[in-house]
Amino acid sequence: MKKLLCTILSLTLLLTGCTIGNGNIRIGAAGIGGMYYTFANTLAGLCTKEDTGFELEVKKTAGSAANLRLLSSNYIELGIAQADLIDAAYQGTGVFTGKKCQNFKAVASLYPEACQIVVRKDSDIETIDDLQGKKVSVGEEESGSELNARQILEMSGLPEDLIKTKHLDYTDAADKLAAGKIDAFFFTAGAQTTVVEELAKHCDIRLLNLDDKLCGKLTTAYPFYSDYTIPAGTYTGQEEDIQTVCVQSVLVASDALDNATVLTNPPYGERLGDASEAARLARTLGQVWQAHPAQGLYAITADAEFEQHFGKKAARRRKIYNGMIPCQLYMYFEQPKRERK
- Give the per-residue pLDDT at 17: 45
pLDDT digits (tens, 9 = 90+) for 278-334: 777 788 778 777 766 666 677 888 888 899 988 889 888 888 876 677 888 888 876
Residue-range domains of the chain with CATH:
113-247 (3.40.190.10), 265-341 (3.40.50.150)
Q: What percent of the chain has pLDDT over 90?
A: 40
Pairing of strands 164-166, 261-264: unpaired
pLDDT digits (tens, 9 = 90+) for 150-160: 999 999 999 88
- Give the per-residue pLDDT at 264: 67
Asked if pLDDT for residue 340 goes beyond 50, the answer is: no
pLDDT digits (tens, 9 = 90+) for 38-77: 888 887 887 676 555 567 889 988 888 999 999 988 889 8
Using an 8 Å Cβ cutoff, are 258 and 291 in contact?
Answer: no
What beta strand segments (E) does the chain contain? 24-28, 55-59, 78-82, 104-120, 135-137, 164-166, 184-189, 205-207, 226-230, 242-254, 261-264, 296-301, 316-322, 325-333
- Give the per-residue pLDDT at 341: 39
Q: pTM here?
A: 0.70
Instruction: Give the three-state DSSP class for 54.
Output: coil
Q: How far is CA 155 from each of CA 83, 113, 151, 184, 216, rounded to the nearest angstrom?
A: 20, 19, 6, 18, 10
